Structure formats: structure tokens, C-alpha cells
A and B are shown apart, each in its own frame.
Chain A
Amino acid sequence: MTASASEKPGPAPLLAVEGITKRFGDLVANDAVDFDILTGEIHALLGENGAGKSTLVKMLFGSLKPDAGRIVWNGERVSIPNPSAARHLGIGMVFQHFSLFDSLTVAENIALSLEDDVPLSTVADEARRLGEVYGLTLNPEALAGDLSVGERQRVEIIRCLLQEPSLIILDEPTSVLTPQEAERLFETLDKLKAEGKSILYISHKLDEVKRLCDRATVLRHGKVVAHCDPRAETAKSLAAMMVGEEVQAVRRTHDAPTEDKADRDIVLGVHNLDQPPLGPFSTPLRAIHMNVFAGEVFGIAGVAGNGQSELFEALSGEQLQDNPNVVTIGGAPAGRLGPNGRRRLGAAFAPEERFGHAAVATMPLTENILLSRHASDASAYQSGGRLGMLRRSALGRTLSRVVEAMDVRKSGENPDAGTLSGGNLQKLILGREFDRRPRLFIVNQPTWGVDAGAAARIRQALMDAATAGAGALVISQDLDELLEMCDRVAVIHDGEMSEPLDARTVTREQLGLLMGGAEPEKHHGVAA
């Protein structure tokens, strides 16, 4: 790898970013980022989820304002206050999530994004012409609702091309495409490049970047870690740059269960868990097998959207299994039990989405504590037998306990959950479970979007619980976090889980390759 910003005297860059910094509270999302894009090149922006790619792109497209640094466009310093200004400069963007009105036709959808009044027939003709030139076959009269995902993306690209941009930003364009659709997209991009347009290609898929891109900028934790030529690198070396090589000092507070596993209780057993996709964007789960022992922290790494949420919901009982023995909690078959049945067996859950899944934003904190505990602690919070009257004083006492134990910062006695910051709400969500002293924790992305202080507290509390004899399953995209906390780590990719690896000996490179879907190196496997 070449860690220098290989600046040779050559053609002036179309876009240069110099020392761009963006902070959100304590979190530095972009830390003095430098890179440039030449005319007629495809430039990759590589990084894990949360590395700061989206923040950077939002600043280029005018959705966010940088705190420091300069953006230079065609040799001139510019400021980009809003997306419209970005478009006027000649920067176009194709978003990861499409924004089409299903009930309108393709041409109508395109016309909506144009700033001038253009007759619909002109729009349709122009869209058809662009489609032919770039191999983006489309019927402008078709209803957007009838289009496949790949076709919808083509509409977005044509919409972007109509503005005649000189730089096109594509945010994870293949994340929703089939391999065939992706191949067609690559051909289009090659054509655009041949015409002298520049493309900023955001991805974490290594093979795509190697296939497509001339240069790459790698981000990790908001910093540029490398500028390189992806074609000169191996998937391995790119993965290493993305996830970081240096081994961090791991601070474990509990004894890792080692050889005497056979004697330990299995708090969570999953045997051959298969689940078909639950919707058009859902990942199927395939033959998931694992045992989580009492006293250990078991990690599941993986890039977002590889079946983590599906696995979580299958384990939490929000999705039931056909066979009760597929999931066992504390040795008892739980596959046919809903969330409350599983909670009564000693399990506790914390999903990834805080608002709308783990908590209700418009309800006060006491009612959010009740959300996961009304059944498992029925005797504490309900009176009047079948009437099910709520005991608000008991809920208030629990809230004070949780707030005290987890240092939840809030305004007022019992505010709505929506007024808490992400970190404080997450502390409350986990705190309401710790307060029950469960035997099994299943948490998904426990520190996602949480400030460093809260994240440390959450990790410490999970490790302390394991020390006290509970088992914890931590699903996370953050490798640092997993290697810090876990005894064993497995990787989920496309709904399949690897063999668990010993977290003390596994390398980031191995994990990075598994996350990218490469074959695991068998001799590192530690069977459960």
C-alpha cells in the first residue's frame, strides 16, 4: 500500500478536498480529510460503515456544512451551501435509497427534479436519448411503482445525467442490485468515464473497486488512512487498510471461558436456523449454528445488511421458528415462544433501531421501561389481576435505578424518549435490561451512533454482566468493539455465519476477508 497522497505534477484536479473536518458533538466524523478527483477518473471512497464516507459526501453535495477545510472546484475555492448549489457547479449524486413517486411515470419523476419548466415530452425524449447512449434502457411512460430496483436506479442515474454534471457521486450503488444489474451499471460507468466525466464511487465491496476504479481513498474513523491504486492492491491489503491493522490493547475484565466449555451452561443454542427472506430487501438466514456459553461474550461481525437484523429478530422471538428446538434459551426450547416467553426464560434484547423498535419516541421514559418488562416483571408493574392496572410508582422507581446505574442524562423527571440523545437513550434501553439481571443478552449494534463515553459504559456493563455469569451475544459492525469485548467472534455474510474464531488470536485481516465474503481460512477455526 502507498500511504502517501501521491501528488505528481499532472492535470489539475477537477475537485480537491483539503483538510475537511466535521464534528457532531464529541464525535469527529471527518478529521482533516484530503483527497482529489481528476477529470475522467473513477475514484473510490472506501471504508467500513461509520468510517465517515457519507458525511464527506454530504458536504460535497451541500447537505452538510464542513467545520473546517476547503473545497476546490476547477482550481477555485467554493462553498456549497445546498444541493442546488452543488448541482449548479456540476456535481450530481445518485443516492443509495431511491426517491421516486410510485404513482408517477418515469418521465414525471424526472421532470419533478428539474428546476426549470420543461415540457414532459421533451423530458421523455431526452431520457430516452440518454438511455440509449449509456445503455440505460428505460420506458419513460412506465410507472415508477412497476420498476425493478435496477430500473429505479437507472431513473436516478438519468435524472442525475440530465443536469449534465462533470462529477457524479454514487453512494453504494450496487448494494441493492443483482450481480447482472451491477455488471450493466459498471458498463455505463465505463462509458461515462470514457466521455471525460469523473465519478466518485463509494463502496466497501473490494472486488468492485478493483474492477472499476483508477484510484482509491480509504477512510477509517473519519481519517484518510491511504491513497492508493486499487488495481495494484490485493483484496487482502485493501481490507487491512479499511479495518486497520494495528492490534489494539484489549482490556478484558472477565476470564475468558477456555477449554472447559463442555462444563459450562449453554445459555443460547441455535441449531440450523433457516429463514426465508421476509420481504423484498430482507436477507435469508441459512443454517445458522452457534452456542453461547454462560460467562462469555460472543461477537458477530459483518457489514450492514448481511442478515444481522433478521438474525436478531429470529432470536428475539419477533420472528418465530417452526421448530421449538431451533433456538434454546437456558436449555429450554424457545423457537415457538414470542419475545415475552423468551424474556421469561432469562433473555434480554436490545435491537439496533432505537426509535420505533427499542423505544417509542413519543412516550415518557417510564412507559419505555414498561415496553420490554411488562410481562417478565408483571408482578412488579401490574396490579388488579386481570385488569392489568399499571403501577406507575414502581415504574418510576425502576427508572431512577436505571438512570443512576447507567448515568442517563435527561431533562426533567420523566421526559419523552424522543428528547434524549442517542447515547443516553441507548444507555436507558440497555439499562432497563441490566436492571432485570438476565442470563442472556442479545444486542444488535449496541454502540452505533453513540458517543465515546456512553459506548465505553455500555461495553463495560456488558462485560461485567458476562463476568457475573451471563452470556452475551453482540452483533456489531465495529471490529474494534468486538475485539475489545468478545471471547469468540464469528462473521455473518449474506445470511450465513462463519465458524466462531478465538478473539484473542484472530486478525483483522481474517475478519475483513470473511466480511467481504471470502472463504474462511479453515485452520483458524475454533469449533464451538
Chain B
Amino acid sequence: MTRIELVRRPQHSALFSVLSPFIAVLITALIGGIMFAMLGKSPIGGLYAYFIEPLTEIWSIHELIIKATPLILIAVGLSVCFLSNNWNIGAEGQFIMGAIAGSVMPVLYPGITGPMVLPLMLVMGMAGGAAWATIPAFLKARFGTNEILSSLMLVYVAELFLDWLVRGPWRNPEGFNFPETRSFHADAILPEMLSASGRAHYGFVFAILAALIVWFMLSRTLKGYEIRVLGESPRAGRFAGFSAKRMVFFAFIVSGALAGLAGIIEVSGAIGQLRPAISPGYGFTAIIVAFLGRLNPLGIVAAGLILALSYLGGEAAQISLGVSDKVANVFQGVLLFSVLACDTLIRYRVRFVSPQPAAAPEAVR
């Protein structure tokens, strides 16, 4: 039997660094097609409904932008975390806490209006997300706690906190006991960009700005250099005089603030009030976005649009094909696995070898 071996490349392959996201998307489409066939649907029709149909109408492109906005904002922040070797898995929680903190003004002080309300909300949203992200950062820097676990667990705390708020103290007094806050007043709503053709709001501009700023920081400044050095080799970073502990805080605070900003933008731009569930898992999907975009903020903009399409496609396929909307999650999961698997090609060459009789497996060393 032929054996497949992975041979480490002497250098990272530049070709596959570029190709690997595309190969991953192809593999995902292939597996998606098989899945549709197994569900008894036409693979071509299914993939069309998923990935092409949502792009055929203007209003639908507006929806795409609305969905892409939080994904891009969060993933840009996560790129700073992941590049510096800080594994923030809790962006979903920071998103929710940002939404809650940003909603303090319109929910608790609906009487205060004026042009300053919206900027204040955005700043408070960023502060809320950053504060929530500081908890795992502190635990990691001070006690060496695994940030993957602590940040993830804080997601559930944030979700339940939001649930409690909208069912309890923040419930709309005129809302017939529905678990939601009062609707935001006009000054607290993020305006739409082209209201004639669809709902897309100015949040997308923030997402693009954030991507540009972080891209500039990562590629052109000493701070970005520090992030990359500490991510590649903490010991070399220490030799360079960089502090890994301070970087933990920096990375978590930046990504928490951007996730928080995404949260308040989603609430203020797309929903208009707080509800028990304000995110279809943006904080987790953004992890896929970050990796699909190769942790490069500009790549993340493209990746965010692709993943947003999978959300829209899920809704479209539910209507036109009658498949479960959970299929969207399957697509996202398959895509993440494909991206990570294809990244192997950057570092390794695949080699097929026919077995040698003498080559017994080597002992584990």
C-alpha cells in the first residue's frame, strides 16, 4: 500500500500561502455538494442557492454587508491576538458585553438625545468589550491560566448576563413583557448608508477603517513588529526587550474593543434594541474569518464577506430548498477545517512513497 508522507519544506511556500484559502473554499464546496446530494437535493442547485443567489439582488448585498461588518471587525482584532500567540476564543462574549455597555445610554437614559449620544455609545461599547477581554488577559498574565478556556467560559457568562438583563431590569416597561429592551431612539441608531436600496449601515465603514488601521500597525510600525516577534518566539521577544505580559493585555484589549464595537454597531445599526440573542455566533465565526484571511486585515475583509455569504446562503437555502439553517454552521465548520488542513501545504510537501520492507515504524521519541 502506498503511504502518504508529509515532508517539511526548507522554506514556507509563497505559492501555497496564496493558494491555500482558495483550495480550502474549493474543498468546502465539494464537501457541501456531497452533503446536498446526501440530503437528496441537487448539489449544483444547493451550491447555487448558497453562494450565488444571495448576490443577485441589491437588497441582499446590503444584508451581506450587514453580516460582514461584525465578522470583519471582530476578526481584525483577533488577528492581533492570534499573531501575538494569544488565543482569544471569547470574542462572542466581548461582542455581547460591548453591546450591553453601549446600550446603557439609550436604554437607561432614553431622555438624553443629541448628536453626542451615538459616539458615546460606540466608545462605551468598545470599553465594555475591552473590559471583558481584560479578565482572561489578567488571568493569563498573572496566574498563567489558559486563555482559551477562560475566554471561552466568559462567553457563557456574558450570554446569561444579557439574558438576565433583558428579562429583568432592562426589560421594556411598555413592551408587554417581551424579553427585550425599549427600542433605541433615533439619535441612538447608526444611520443607513444608502437607505433607498437597502439597510446597510455605516458600521461597514468602521470595519474597513479598523482593517486599514490594524493592517498599517501590523506591517509598518514597531508595535506590529513587536506583535509578530512575540508571536513567533517569546524568547527572542524578551531578548528584544518586549514584554510578553504587556502584549497579552494589549492584544486582548484591542480585540476586545473591536469585538465590543462590533456588538454595539450590530445592536445600534441592525437590531435597534437588546434582545436575549443578538448574535448568530459572530464571535466564533470570526475565528474562521481571521484564519481564512491569513491573519492579514486586508485578507480578513474578503474572508468576512465570504463567511457572511454562508449566513445569507443558509437563510436562502432554508427558504428555497427547505434544508435546515444549521447547514450554514456545517459549511463554516468544514471551511475552518479545510483552511487549517490546507495550511499544512505551506509548511509541508506531500509525498507518496511505496513501502520498503525494512522500514519498520520508528519508536516514539
Contacts and interface: CB of A to CB of B under 8 A. Distances in A.
Secondary structure of the A contact surface, majority rule: mixed
Contacts of A87: 363
Given A338-B241, A362-B12, A372-B240, A356 B225 contact: no
A388 B241 contact: no
B241 A419 contact: no
Contacts of B241: 317, 338-341, 343, 375
A343 B239 CA distance: 11
Interface stretch (B69-77, B318-326, B353-361): B353-361
B229 interface: yes
B225 A359 contact: no
Given A115-B360, A388-B221, A362 B232 contact: yes
A388 B227 CA distance: 13
A83 interface: yes
B232 A360 contact: yes
B358 to A, nearest CB: 7
Given A339-B241, A371-B240, A418-B11, A356 B361 contact: no
B235 interface: yes
B362 A83 contact: yes
Interface string A91-120: 000010001010000000000110100000
A163 to B, nearest CB: 9
B222 A358 contact: no
A79 to B, nearest CB: 11
Contacts of A112: 363-364
Nearest to A371: B240
B142 interface: no
A210 B44 CA distance: 79
B245 interface: no
A82 B362 contact: yes
A356 B222 CA distance: 19
A339 B232 CA distance: 19
Given A99-B365, A340-B241, A359 B236 contact: yes
Nearest to B240: A371
B358 A81 contact: yes
Contacts of A512: none
Contact of A419 (B11, B221, B222, B362): B11
B238 interface: yes
Contact of A339 (B240, B361, B363, B364): B240
Of residues B232, B240, B241, B362, which shows the largest number of chain A Cβ atoms within 10 Å of its Cβ? B241
Contacts of A349: 239
B229 A360 contact: yes
A260 to B, nearest CB: 36
A318 B239 contact: yes
B327 to A, nearest CB: 36
Contacts of A99: 364-365
Nearest to B220: A389
Of residues B11, B240, B360, which shows the largest number of chain A Cβ atoms within 10 Å of its Cβ? B240
Given A318-B239, A339-B240, A382-B222, A113 B228 contact: no
A404 B23 CA distance: 43
A374 interface: yes
B93 to A, nearest CB: 29
Interface residues of A, number: 46
A316 interface: yes
Of residues B10, B228, B233, B359, which shows the largest number of chain A Cβ atoms within 10 Å of its Cβ? B233
A165 to B, nearest CB: 13
Contacts of A351: 239
B236 A371 contact: yes
B349 interface: no
Interface string A314-345: 00111000000000000000000011110100
Contact of A371 (B229, B359, B365): B229
Contacts of B238: 318, 339
A416 interface: yes
Nearest to A373: B240
A213 B229 CA distance: 48
A371 B229 CA distance: 8
A52 B223 CA distance: 44
Contacts of B365: 95, 99
Contacts of A81: 358
Of residues B10, B363, B364, which shows the largest number of chain A Cβ atoms within 10 Å of its Cβ? B363
Nearest to A384: B221
Contact of A389 (B11, B221, B362): B221
A357 B236 contact: yes
B224 to A, nearest CB: 8
Interface string B209-236: 0000000000011110100110011011
Contact of B233 (A340, A360, A382, A384): A360
Given A84-B360, A112-B363, A362-B232, A371 B220 contact: no
A85 interface: yes
A484 B232 CA distance: 37
A407 B130 CA distance: 49
Interface in B11-54: 11-12
A405 interface: no
A524 to B, nearest CB: 36
Of residues B12, B222, B360, which shows the largest number of chain A Cβ atoms within 10 Å of its Cβ? B222
Contacts of A388: 221-223
A367 interface: yes
Contacts of B221: 384, 387-390
A195 interface: no
Given A362-B12, A374-B240, A85 B358 contact: yes
Nearest to B226: A374
Contact of A82 (B225, B228, B233, B359): B359
B362 A371 contact: no
Contacts of B233: 355-357, 360
A419 B10 contact: yes
Contacts of A356: 233, 235-236
B229 A363 contact: yes
A489 interface: no
Contacts of B361: 84, 115
A384 B222 CA distance: 11
Interface in A471-521: none
Interface in B234-289: 235-236, 238-241
Contacts of A389: 220-222
Interface string A352-381: 010111111011000100111011000000
Given A356-B236, A370-B225, A416-B11, 15 more contacts: A82-B362, A84-B361, A115-B360, A115-B361, A115-B363, A356-B235, A359-B236, A360-B233, A362-B12, A363-B228, A371-B239, A384-B221, A389-B220, A390-B222, A419-B10
What 9 pairs across the A-B complex have the smallest Cβ distances?
A388-B222, A340-B241, A113-B363, A339-B241, A84-B360, A99-B365, A356-B233, A371-B240, A112-B364
27 contacts: A83-B363, A84-B359, A84-B361, A84-B363, A95-B365, A99-B364, A112-B364, A113-B363, A113-B364, A317-B241, A318-B239, A339-B239, A339-B240, A340-B241, A357-B233, A359-B236, A362-B12, A362-B232, A363-B228, A363-B229, A367-B229, A371-B240, A388-B223, A389-B221, A390-B221, A390-B222, A390-B225
Interface of B: 10-12, 220-223, 225, 228-229, 232-233, 235-236, 238-241, 358-365
